[in-house]
Amino acid sequence: MNKLTTALLTGAAALAFTASAQAEPDGEAIYNQACMACHMTGAAGAPIKGDEAAWAPRLEKGMDVMYEHSIEGFQAMPARGGHPNLSDEEVKAAVDFMLEPVL
């Protein structure tokens, strides 16, 4: 292989890796993995996905507070929903997915 072809292939591979590494987190998949057990059943007082009345007083505090409570934990909810391996962006994506029906 000549140097130009090698350089092009290397650049394309790096670009593909960068694009995949920067992909948006899948909020639905994260919700299904980390949040659904409580937010589908109401376990420990968790507001159920889609329940506007349950979410209204929480939403009045603003999304920054929603994200903060989800990341740091709040009352019975553990930090990051008990999944410490989740990044802040992944937690926020799950919160956004969970709140879609009530926004």
56 residue type, one letter:
A
Backbone angles phi, psi at 58, to 5 degrees: -75, -40
The mean pLDDT of 3-32, rounded to a whole number, is 64
State the Cα–Cα distance between residues 26 and 24, nearest whole angstrom: 6
Query: What does the pLDDT look like over 31-84, one tens digit per residue?
Result: 999 999 999 999 999 999 999 999 999 999 999 999 999 999 999 999 999 999
Q: How many CA atoms lie within 13 A of 73 on its CB side?
A: 9
State the Cα–Cα distance between residues 62 and 48, nearest whole angstrom: 18
Backbone angles phi, psi at 77, to 5 degrees: -85, 125
In a domain, 9, yes or no: no
* Predicted local confidence at residue 11, as pLDDT: 47
Task: Give residue 59's domain range.
Answer: 25-102
First to last CA, the chain: 55
In a domain, 37, yes or no: yes
* Predicted local confidence at residue 9, as pLDDT: 44
In a domain, 77, yes or no: yes
CATH number of the domain enclosing 39: 1.10.760.10
Q: How many domains does the chain have?
A: 1
